[in-house]
């Protein structure tokens, strides 16, 4: 039998592989391997989550960012980036719109913006949770202090997304300006877990200087962290970033990584990301068919969507837009799935 199929079977059985084994598959797979991985990932996802697709309403709070990540369009050094901040009232307006559409999880995401003090965020979180007690609230606001994570958790935030971006320290240094260390990022992720958040981490596929070894290390790190959520998507260049001339990450490689993650962490909540939908018009559907079970339509006020540009051509119209949920529902229905009105909490680990 084909060696990769043997490895995929081993991954399904043991829920882990060695670094060398991951590198073998990731570095060299064909369409048959991809099909096999996808079929197994779909079956495993279905056993746990059925045909349900969870939706999250993404509210992009601020495009100000103190960080200067070399891949990102809203990095502080990009003088051409358009900056905005939402008020509490605007965020609550988004929540209302989302609730009426059937969203039961809000994801408040933004750059690392010092304007949003704990005081401002605690007030916002409390108000969201008071108004929508049956909804889960996810934060994705980058690195903050331990004290801050605790205050926001106590105010009612349930989940936190903080991607590790890459599991190799040298690679991490190549993607971030001088002085930023993977070890610090990992300490933050562990801190969030300890406080009690359901945690999401993840990485970009095809970021500059990434090798199969980096992706194998990403898998081993995910295994170790065992996060409730895993967000991955292809790197997409931004014309005003250091990496403007690098190509986008491969769709097939992203799909293979999605399937590998589902095989390794069967209960995890995995979005088919906007970046995947950006590089391939059918990317989100392909992501779902490869093992993902979450989509995160854009619930931000329409006039700010074109300002939260992490990469070029970011999709925020059509089925990426929360108000076009019916389109997303029918796209999902066409491939055999259904969007549910549900918080979409992590499945209890068996």
- Residues of this chain that interact with ligand 5AD (CB under 6 A) are 71-72, 163, 165, 204, 233, 235-236, 238, 275, 310-311
Q: How far is the CB of 322 from ligand 5AD (least distance, A)?
A: 18
Identity of the residue, 4 or 268, whose beta carbon is nearer to ligand 5AD in the bound complex: 268
Residue number with CB closer to ligand 5AD (111 or 266): 111
Q: Among residues 71 and 316, whose Cβ is nearest to ligand 5AD?
A: 71
Of the pair 17, 236, the CB lying nearest ligand 5AD is at: 236
Nearer to ligand 5AD, 84 or 99 (CB): 84
Q: How far is the CB of 133 from ligand 5AD (least distance, A)?
A: 27
Q: Which position has the token pair 């119209």?
A: 317
In the complex with ligand 5AD, the residue whose CB is nearer, 266 or 271, is 271
Considering the complex, what minimum distance in angstroms separates the CB of residue 237 from ligand 5AD? 6
From residue 278, give the alpha-carbon distance in Å to each of 44, 169, 248, 251, 343.
Answer: 27, 28, 10, 10, 26
- Find the shortest distance in angstroms from Cβ 282 to ligand 5AD: 18
Q: Minimum CB separation from ligand 5AD for residue 296, in Å? A: 11
User: In the bound complex, what is the minimum distance in angstroms from residue 8's beta carbon to ligand 5AD?
Assistant: 26
Q: How far is the CB of 30 from ligand 5AD (least distance, A)?
A: 26
| In the complex, residue closest to ligand 5AD by CB | 311
Rounded to a whole number of angstroms, the minimum distance from the CB of residue 236 to ligand 5AD is 4
Q: Which is nearer to ligand 5AD, 4 or 63 (CB)?
A: 63
CA 190 to chain centre: 17
HEC letters along the chain: CCHHHHHHHHHHHHCCCCHHHHHHHHHCCCHHHHHHHHHHHHHHHHHHHCCEEEECEEEEEECCCCCCCCCCCCCCCCCCCCCCECCHHHHHHHHHHHHHHCCCEEEEEECCCCCCCHHHHHHHHHHHHHHCCCCEEEEECCCCCHHHHHHHHHCCCCEEECCCECCCHHHHHHHCCCCCCHHHHHHHHHHHHHHCCEEEEEEEECCCCCCHHHHHHHHHHHHHHCCCEEEEEECCCCCCCCCCCCCCCCHHHHHHHHHHHHHHCCCCECECCHHHHHHCCCHHHHHHHCCCCEECCECCCHHHHCCCCCCCCCCCCHHHEHHHHHHHHHHHHHCCCEEECCCCCCCCCC
Tokens of 228: 């409730």
Task: Considering the complex, state which of residue 103 and residue 308 has its C-beta at the smaller distance from ligand 5AD.
Answer: 308
């Amino acid at each position: 039998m084909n060696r990769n199929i043997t490895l995929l079977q081993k991954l399904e059985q043991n829920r882990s592989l060695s670094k060398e084994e991951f590198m073998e598959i990731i570095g060299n797979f064909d369409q048959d391997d991809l099909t096999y991985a996808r079929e197994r990932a779909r079956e495993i996802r279905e056993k746990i989550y059925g045909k349900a697709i969870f939706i999250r309403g993404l509210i992009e709070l601020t495009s100000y960012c103190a960080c200067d990540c070399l891949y990102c369009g809203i990095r502080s050094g990009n003088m051409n980036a358009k900056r905005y901040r939402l008020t509490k009232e605007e965020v609550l307006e988004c929540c209302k719109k989302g609730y009426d559409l059937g969203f039961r999880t809000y994801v408040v995401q933004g750059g690392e913006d010092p304007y949003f003090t704990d005081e401002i965020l605690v007030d916002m979180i409390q108000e969201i949770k008071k108004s929508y007690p049956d909804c889960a609230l996810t934060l994705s606001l980058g690195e903050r202090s331990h004290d801050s994570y605790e205050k926001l958790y106590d105010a009612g935030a349930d989940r936190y997304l903080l991607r590790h971006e890459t599991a190799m320290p040298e690679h991490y240094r190549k993607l971030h300006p001088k002085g930023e260390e993977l070890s610090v990022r990992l300490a933050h992720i562990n801190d969030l877990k300890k406080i009690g958040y359901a945690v999401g981490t993840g990485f970009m596929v095809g970021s500059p200087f990434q090798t199969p070894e980096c992706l194998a290390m990403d898998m081993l790190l995910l295994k170790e962290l065992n996060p409730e959520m895993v967000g991955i998507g292809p790197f997409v260049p931004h014309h005003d970033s250091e990496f403007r001339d690098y190509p986008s990450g491969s769709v097939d490689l992203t799909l293979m990584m999605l399937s590998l993650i589902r095989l390794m962490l069967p209960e995890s909540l995995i979005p088919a990301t906007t970046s995947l939908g950006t590089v391939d018009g059918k990317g989100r559907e392909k992501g779902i068919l490869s093992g993902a079970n979450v989509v995160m339509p854009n619930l931000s006020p329409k006039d700010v969507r074109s300002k939260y540009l992490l990469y070029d051509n970011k999709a925020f119209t059509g089925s990426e837009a929360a108000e076009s949920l019916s389109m997303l529902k029918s796209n999902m229905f066409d491939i055999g799935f259904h969007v549910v009105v549900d918080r979409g909490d992590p499945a209890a680990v068996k």
